[in-house]
């Protein structure tokens, strides 16, 4: 079944199509939830709520070519995860002034030698606000201005949280490399 057919059948509340949608995209949508939430149990709750929202609002989806369904599903799930974090008030991080940040050695080697699962674990361990800004900036390709509007924070807060997230990740990556 094509994406377009699957979406059309889901719009008609076809339970078999809903099951197929869940089986096809559940894993990648769960990865999004874990990336934002960090805690597996809470991420599963967000995934569930996200699928409820998806099935309630699938009528608003307009097929725009291959990949458009997955993109729409991902956007819904990111918004669900952000809503969960807002409700828990975990996005409210204090601004970190650049002078207060620790000095770290920037490693220009990249992260190609770090297994993806290990890297995602490191991202999941970041404080909620830092992790959220990092995910939006890196994975969702949002600007600090867009992030600030989405999260109700200032652009400076967004950029400082991103800087802090990068600093903490660099430290975790260096520690991981030293263990090798």
d(CA 136, CA 37): 13
DSSP three-state, residue 156 = helix
Tell me which residue of 112, 101, 138, 113 sits closest to 123, measured CA to CA: 138
Rounded average pLDDT over 38-43:
90
d(CA 45, CA 55): 16
Residue limits of CATH 1.10.1740.10 in the chain: 3-87
d(CA 153, CA 4): 37
Per-residue pLDDT at 109? 54
d(CA 19, CA 41): 21
Torsion sign (Cα): 143, 145, 148, 149: negative
DSSP three-state, residue 14 = coil
> 5-14, 51-60, 65-74, 171-180: lowest mean pLDDT where?
171-180
Phi, psi of 97 (to 5 degrees): -75, 145
Contact indicator for 35, 82 with CB cutoff of 8 Å: no
pLDDT in tens, 87-126: 886 554 433 444 444 444 444 456 777 888 888 889 988 9
CATH number for domain 98-179, candidates 1.10.10.10, 3.40.190.10, 1.20.58.220, 1.20.1180.10: 1.10.10.10
pLDDT in tens, 23-33: 999 999 999 99
List all residues 6 or more positions away from 175 whose beta carbon is below 8 Å from its beta carbon. Answer: none
pLDDT in tens, 116-135: 888 888 998 898 889 999 99
CATH number for domain 3-87, candidates 2.40.50.180, 1.10.1740.10, 1.10.760.10, 3.40.50.20: 1.10.1740.10
Two tokens, residue 8: 């059309």
Residue limits of CATH 1.10.10.10 in the chain: 98-179
d(CA 43, CA 179): 29
């Amino acid at each position: 079944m094509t994406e377009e057919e699957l979406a059309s059948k889901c719009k008609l509340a076809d339970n078999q199509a809903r099951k197929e949608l869940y089986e096809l995209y559940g894993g990648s949508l769960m990865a999004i939830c874990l990336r934002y939430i960090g805690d597996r149990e809470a991420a599963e709750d967000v995934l569930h709520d996200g699928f409820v929202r998806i099935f309630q609002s699938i009528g608003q989806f307009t097929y725009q070519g291959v990949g458009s369904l997955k993109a729409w599903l991902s956007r819904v799930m990111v918004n669900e995860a952000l809503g969960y974090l807002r409700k828990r008030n975990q996005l409210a991080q204090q601004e970190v002034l650049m002078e207060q940040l620790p000095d770290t050695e920037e490693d220009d080697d990249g992260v190609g030698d770090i297994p993806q699962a290990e890297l995602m674990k490191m991202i999941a361990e970041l404080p909620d606000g830092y992790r959220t800004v990092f995910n939006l900036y890196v994975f969702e390709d949002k600007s600090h201005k867009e992030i600030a509007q989405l999260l109700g924070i200032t652009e400076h807060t967004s950029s400082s949280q991103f800087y802090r997230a990068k600093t903490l990740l660099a430290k975790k990556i260096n520690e991981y490399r030293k263990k090798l």
